[in-house]
Amino acid sequence: MKHLFYLNKFFWRYKILLLSGAIFITIANLFALYPAEFVREAFDKILENINNNNGDLDKIKKTILFYSGLIFVFAALKGVFMYLMRQTIIVMSRKIEHDLKNEIYYKYQTLSLAFYKVNKTGDLMNRISEDVSRVRMYLGPCLMYAINIITLFFLVIQKMLSISTVLTFYVVLPLPVLAVSIYFISHKINRRSERVQAKLSEITTISQETISGIKLIKAFNNQKNILKKFVDNCKHYTRLQIKLVKIEALFFPLIITMIGTSTILTIYIGGLESFNGKITTGNIAEFIIYINMLAWPVASIGWITSLVQRAAASQERINKFLLVNSKIKNQNLTNTSFNGNIEFKNVSFKYKETNIQALKNINISIKKGEKIGLFGKTGCGKSTITNLICRLYNVDSGEIKIGGKNINKLNLYNLRSSIGYVPQDGYLFSGTIRENITFSSNEFNRKKMIECAKNASILEEIENLENGFDTLIGERGIQLSGGQRQRISIARTLYSNVDMYIFDDCLSAVDVKKEKEILNNLIHKTKGKTTIIISHRISSFKNTNKIIVLENGQVKEIGDHKKLISGKGFYSKMFQLQLKNVN
């Protein structure tokens, strides 16, 4: 249960619904209690009538009708309060489910990129779907029936003790055996439930990766191998589920046996007590009804225990990342502006998950409004520099300053909202082209959207589509070509109208002619704003103020285009090589 303690804050948040539900359950059980007394009174009066009046049929009919009417009224009242208890407890569980899902989703957004590099997407998806659903069953039906069991047991046992202590003792005698049996079985359920959930996450991950990579799977004609992997995991999951069900299947036979034993003891011991004049024959009937009233609550103990164990296993998995502290924290809650020069002072950085040293003692300065080019081989640290400027990671050593202030001291959200970032893959969200271009702003301006599309050299192609800007592009923009995805992502960034732009090799899928056109537009659009361009094409850097050449995470050359091509370094060699390829 320790893992479920995390949910106590939600109970406090919805304490009125919880307390109201508990009251309605108690009242419903009170109305359920009296019909047993009515049966006992009717039973005793009918026997008394038979013994004293030799069976007056009219009186017997009146007695039966009177007590039947009372039982019906009390059953109806019980039904009303059962409806109310569901409208409070179950509604509370749905509200908590809503809050928990939002909390998990918010946590997804606050965790650093390093977290996502070591956790599978399918596993994280399973947290917010399957795991939360199992937790909700604990918050709703499980809690409702648990309160019902406690109040009903208290009321029924108290009533039974007031009638006959001896008979009550024999009725509850099998219950300790039941409790001990449930304890041991529940422990096994918990362990097996954890294995089931872990395997389900693995299946979800395989499904997610298959759907995302279906194009590649078909291209390699690898459907059979992927299907075999999926089927093997499903078979393993089924075996684990069967093992879990086998353990759960022990509950009901065990409970029914205990209830049957209680009924037999009631009839036998009750008969002896009635013969000795200590209780009436109606009391025996009353006790049998009480036992049947306890039948479902006792039977539901196993079901409740199973739900608790499953919820505990799911909540443990949820807690593992809800309680993770993100390494990237906002240390300044006041608004700060992105203004001034950017300075890297002896900055080093290593990716912990791969142990790759991306940057080593980097010292560079970028003046406000400059156009900067980052050039180098794949894996030299170009994208790492831009990630550090966006503070997607924290530096291991050294310091990054913006406007003379340490980047860690700036408001994280102000910093990121001041930067327009175009990633290498040109990631697009499923939806329309319009929704993707205007993604960076809550305000829609059609004229501005068209202008951004024009500057990204994608306007004409969009207008040629049947639905224009309202064209659905599919998941990750699968309906579009690579070049179109990149240009729409450029338009999306331009729409944000920020203080700094980062173009991370975002023209790799665009031809040279189109690239030149886009770069000329970007130079005009980003005038007076700090701009960083990453590219493998040297032609992209002709209009930059400064080019930084990186190699193995270190700065090897710095200068403008003319200075670097006149030298004998890596930049000059690559320029000559690319010039030959063009010719």
| pLDDT per residue as tens digits for the range 415-453 | 888 888 888 777 788 888 888 888 877 788 889 889 888
| d(C-alpha 136, C-alpha 156), whole Å | 29
Question: How close are the terminal C-alpha atoms of the chain, in Å?
Answer: 72
Higher pLDDT, 89 or 169: 89
- With 70 as the cut, is the pLDDT of residue 583 above it? no
- Quote the pLDDT of residue 55: 59
8 Å CB contact between 380 and 550:
yes
- With 80 as the cut, is the pLDDT of residue 502 above it? yes
Burial (CB < 10 A; 0-12, 13-18, 19+), residue 207, is middle
- With 80 as the cut, is the pLDDT of residue 145 above it? yes
Burial (CB < 10 A; 0-12, 13-18, 19+), residue 479, is middle
Tokens at 425, concatenated: 């893959």
Q: Where in the chain is the domain with CATH 1.20.1560.10?
A: 2-322
Task: Give percent of the chain above pLDDT 70.
Answer: 95
pLDDT in tens, 218-265: 877 788 888 888 899 889 889 888 888 887 777 667 777 777 777 788
Task: Give percent of the chain above pLDDT 90.
Answer: 9
Higher pLDDT, 391 or 201: 391
| d(C-alpha 439, C-alpha 418), whole Å | 15
Indicate the SS3 state at residue 507. coil
Higher pLDDT, 580 or 547: 547
Pairing status of strand 554-559 against strand 546-551? antiparallel
Among 147, 144, 25, smallest CA distance to 92 is for: 144
- With 80 as the cut, is the pLDDT of residue 349 above it? yes
Asked which of 21-30, 128-137, 255-264, 488-497 is least confident by mean pLDDT, the reply is 255-264
Query: Rounded to whole angstroms, what are the CA distances from 168 to 104, 267, 289, 298?
Result: 48, 12, 13, 16
Among 134, 178, 153, 456, smallest CA distance to 309 is for: 134
| d(C-alpha 93, C-alpha 135), whole Å | 9
Residue type, position 204, single letter: T
Residue 17's pLDDT band (boundaries 50, 70, 90)?
A: very high
Exposure b/e, 570-581, CB count within 10 A at least 16 = b: bbbebbeeeeee
- With 60 as the cut, is the pLDDT of residue 196 above it? yes
- The residues, ordered by sequence, that sit 6+ positions from 202 with a Cβ below 8 Å of its Cβ are 122, 123, 233
- Quote the pLDDT of residue 183: 65
Tokens at 544, concatenated: 């930059």
Overall average pLDDT of the 77-102 stretch: 92
The sheet carrying 405-406 orders its strands as 356-366, 342-351, 397-402, 405-406
Pairing status of strand 530-534 against strand 371-376? parallel
- Quote the pLDDT of residue 399: 92
Residue type, position 509, single letter: A
Instruction: Specify the fold of 2-322.
Output: ABC transporter transmembrane region fold (1.20.1560)
- With 90 as the cut, is the pLDDT of residue 497 above it? no
User: Residue 532 pairs with which residues in a beta bridge?
Assistant: 372, 502
| Average predicted confidence (pLDDT) for the chain | 83
Overall average pLDDT of the 68-89 stretch: 90
Among 232, 162, 221, smallest CA distance to 199 is for: 232
Q: Where in the chain is the domain with CATH 3.40.50.300?
A: 328-418+502-507+532-583, 422-497
Higher pLDDT, 427 or 18: 18
pLDDT in tens, 273-322: 777 778 777 777 778 788 777 767 766 776 777 788 888 888 888 888 88
Architecture of the 328-418+502-507+532-583 domain: 3-Layer(aba) Sandwich (3.40)
- Quote the pLDDT of residue 322: 83
- Quote the pLDDT of residue 170: 79
- Judge: domain 422-497, CATH 3.40.50.300: yes
Overall average pLDDT of the 508-518 stretch: 78
